[in-house]
Amino acid sequence: MPEWRAELARSAAKQLAALDAVARKRVRACIDRLPEGDVKKLKGQGALFRARAGDMRVLFQIDSSTQLIQVTAVLPRDKAYQ
């Protein structure tokens, strides 16, 4: 069975790069563990999921057929659900 691959959207990569080193390391570790960990499907958002990384939220979509995780956003909790 192939491993899951994670791809970052351009906007998510920019959001990740803007974080301080500690937060960036925490988010990277969270992305490496996907689709495991503290993951929840978001209500009313179609096939969008979220994972917690401290005060940050990683928003992503899962394509089971290709084992691909598309990270769409890396945002602080207070901005992630607006």
Domain count of the chain? 1
Domain annotation covers residue 63: yes
Q: Whole-angstrom Cα distance, residue 6 to residue 67? A: 9
The pLDDT score that the predictor gives to residue 44 is 85
Which of 67, 28, 7, 54 shows the shortest CA–CA distance to 80? 54
Q: Which residues of the chain have pLDDT under 70?
A: 1-2
Q: Which residue range forms the structural domain that includes residue 69?
A: 5-77
Domain annotation covers residue 82: no
Only one residue has tokens 């959207």, namely: 9
The pLDDT score that the predictor gives to residue 47 is 86
The pLDDT score that the predictor gives to residue 62 is 93
Write out the E strands in the chain.
5-8, 39-41, 48-53, 56-63, 68-76
Q: Whole-angstrom Cα distance, residue 37 to residue 6? A: 15
The pLDDT score that the predictor gives to residue 2 is 62
The pLDDT score that the predictor gives to residue 1 is 47
